[in-house]
Amino acid sequence: MDYLSAMRVFLTVVDTQGFTAASKALSMPLPTVCRKIANLEQHLGAQLLVRTTRSLKVTENGQRYYDDVRRILDEIDDAERQVAGEYRRPKGRLSISAPTLFGRLHVLPIATEFITAHEDIDLNFNLTNDVVDLIESHTDLAIRIGPLSDSSMIALKVGSVRQILCASQDYFADHGIPASPADLARLDCISYGGSANWSFKTGDGKVRQYPVRTRFRVNSVEGIVSAARQGSGLAQLYSYQAARHIADGSLAVALPEHEIDPVPVSIVYPQGRHIPQKLRVFIDFAIPRLRESLDLVGQQCSVGIVASMPSATH
């Protein structure tokens, strides 16, 4: 039995979520795919997959085996490429996850540039605001915004983003500029869901929650941004969410002196003795571009501070 071939077939079946899909991906007859998996399970003395007419589920043993086999085959592939002098042409499938809006604005352009430069790498790009379990979802790398709690991941900080208070210039002209976070209890605020309190720093640098007068609730960040640009009220956003609109003048920033500390933006990936070459190449490619993009966000948000209109308390 060719165990390496059977391992690759097993990985493909799991990745494509089906025997038929794996058969097509491998250009291998379906009976051969089924036979290799059956032989592999017989050799291991364990069931790896639960198959029904409509679904395919990886067993607990199968998941552990998948993770180990993925690492082993990545090491074998890299060893072969190193010996063959092919390290300048990394190959394989790379899976990346990023927050929806940040990913679309700042990571997707990098990803498209990357696959153009690396024709032997296939890229799966998942835009989601869920915190993805990299191991369980077979994801190689994720972009995370905020403090990191998972010590099993390696984290590379690429920058930070501010949490800013902003509204349209027309709104500030009509209602005045808040002199302190306490003014938000009287002004019109746009919130995500049912949030009734926003975090700001007090004069002595401590962080506290301030009640806000929410008149407009929107269940998407892009909806909040749009409503704020149209003059519906004040919004508390991450700087990357508002930067391009601050740059074009359709939004302006208030109370920068009361902002909480910026939150980190990080590239995270699982710890391990071996980093696949395809992942290493993407990290080296993405880090300087992400840092440049976040530097631009900081510059855009620093020039849009309102300071010349009447205070909301006047």
Residue 73 has a pLDDT of: 83
Four-CA torsion 82, 87, 93, 98, nearest 10 degrees: 130
> Does 198 score more than 70 pLDDT?
yes
CA angle 243, 248, 254 (to 5 degrees): 55
Which has the minimum average pLDDT: 84-88, 92-96, 107-111, 147-151?
A: 84-88
Residue 86 has a pLDDT of: 47
Predicted TM-score (pTM) of the model is 0.70
pLDDT digits 0-9 by tens, 215-265:
899 989 999 999 999 999 999 999 999 999 999 999 999 999 999 999 999
CA distance 289 to 159: 11
Binned at pLDDT 50, 70 and 90, residue 114 comes out as very high
Residue 293 has a pLDDT of: 96
Q: Two tokens at 18?
A: 């089906």
Cα dihedral sign for 146, 180, 254, 178?
positive
Q: Residue 91, SS3? A: coil
3-state secondary structure 260-280: CCCEEEEEEEECCCCCCHHHH
Q: Residue 146, SS3? A: coil
pLDDT digits 0-9 by tens, 12-50:
898 888 888 889 888 899 999 999 999 999 999 999 998
Beta pairing, strands 234-238 & 163-167:
antiparallel
> Does 75 score more than 80 pLDDT?
no
Across 77-86, average pLDDT: 64
| Sequential DSSP letters for 21-51 | HHHHHHT--HHHHHHHHHHHHHHHTS--EEE
Across 123-150, average pLDDT: 88
Residue 271 has a pLDDT of: 78
Residue 314 has a pLDDT of: 46
pLDDT digits 0-9 by tens, 251-306:
999 999 999 999 999 999 987 656 788 898 999 999 999 999 999 999 998 877 76
Binned at pLDDT 50, 70 and 90, residue 311 comes out as low
Residue 312 has a pLDDT of: 55
> Does 52 score more than 50 pLDDT?
yes
Which has the minimum average pLDDT: 24-33, 80-89, 198-207, 217-226?
A: 80-89
Burial class of residue 209 in the structure, from the number of CB atoms within 10 Å of its CB (0-12 exposed, 13-18 middle, 19+ buried): exposed
Residue 124 has a pLDDT of: 93
Contact (Cβ atoms closer than 8 angstroms) between residue 163 and residue 298? no
Name which residue leads in pLDDT, 7 or 3.
7
> Does 308 score more than 50 pLDDT?
no
